[in-house]
Amino acid sequence: MTEPVGRGVFPVFQTPFGDDESIDFAQLEQEVRWIAEQGAHGVVFGMVSEALRLSDRERADVIRVASGVAAEYGLPCIASVGGESTAVALLRVADAIEAGASALMATPPLHGRNGAHQLEEYFRAILARSSVPIVVQDASGYVGQSLSIEMQAQLFSDFGSHAKFKPEAVPVRPTLDALLAATGGRAEVYEGMGGAALLDTYPGGVSGSMPGAEVCWAVVAMWNALEAGDQDAAEAINRPLVEMIALQDDLDSFVVCEKFLLVEQGVLSSRVARTPLGFTLEPAAEQRLRGLLDELRRAVQDARSVHR
């Protein structure tokens, strides 16, 4: 039985490609299995899955494969369904649910500037159409426009736990605090800054994290340390993680760095991402990422040894 989306760490997987930029579904299955085996509480098809570079048929195929593998472990798969129009988003809602998604995640339209009323009607339509929970994603830390706290609180008031939230507007902690305050602390809110904001947002009442997949084992270890009240272990894991995330400041850099680290760990065999790409990982940055990966491994090993 698939668990519902609740507290915990829900990594956003990368979509693997062959040299011809076609989807490598065998590698995708391997990646989702690896994520599950790291102790994650679910998987996510989202922005860093290169959702914007896939056709709608490809999106449905990726969700179907990822949902099927996740279900073998009893884990939910959350699937991104946002679109540039309400009509397209609603078609994606139907496609993702049919493909097996346990919950959905929706960004606002990423182009143009929509008024607050237009954005609210867009999300209301998605929430009303979906038979599974919707994570309202404010990804304005790297794409799109920000969502007002008032609008998100109203969605929660009207739809209850059917609406969950992933606020990535910078600064993250004040945004999260404001959203929780506006919902009486009852809304389920997820940190989405690669796990780098988890140490800061956990005391504020965050329900979990939706980081990239590349070092999800470290975010899981930090989450477990925080749940156990081990602040020292959480801080030790957080230090190299924050520096690692600081090397990534837009969507393409997230994709490139995350695929590099997945290949370094033997999870994926190829770093290919769909082109065009606006970011190149220089040799010095590659070496720094390798060093930070080693630091993270040591911090996690130390944390686990304490709790044995």
Which comes out higher in pLDDT, residue 50 or 308? 50
User: In terms of pTM, does the model score above 0.75?
Assistant: yes
pLDDT at 306: 67
Q: What is the pLDDT of residues 94-106, one digit of tens each?
A: 999 999 999 999 9
- Look at residue 26 in the predicted model and tell me its pLDDT: 98
Report which of 187, 186, 237 is spatially closest to residue 216, judged by C-alpha positions.
237
Answer whether 166's CB lies under 8 Å from 187's CB.
no
pLDDT at 111 > cutoff 90: no
Structure tokens at 239: 């230090």
Q: Is 105 helix (H, G, I), strand (E, B) or coil?
A: strand
CA distance 12 to 44: 4
Give the contacts of 126 (CB within 8 A, at least 6 positions apart): 81, 86, 89, 90, 93, 104, 106, 134
Region 73-82: mean pLDDT is: 97
* pLDDT for 307: 58
Instruction: Write out pLDDT tens, residues 238-297.
Output: 999 999 999 998 999 999 999 999 999 999 999 999 999 999 999 999 999 999 999 999
For residue 129, pLDDT beyond 80: yes
Please say if the pLDDT value at position 308 is more than 60: no
Mean pLDDT of the chain: 95
User: Tell me: the pLDDT tens digits for 138-186?
Assistant: 988 777 788 999 999 999 999 999 999 999 888 888 998 999 999 999 9
Q: Nearest Cα to 173, choosing from 152, 199, 153?
A: 199
Q: What are 28's two structure tokens? A: 């995708």
With tokens 């470290």, the residue in question is: 218
Partners of 208 in beta bridges:
8, 190
| Rounded average pLDDT over 37-49 | 97
- 8-306 architecture in CATH? Alpha-Beta Barrel (3.20)
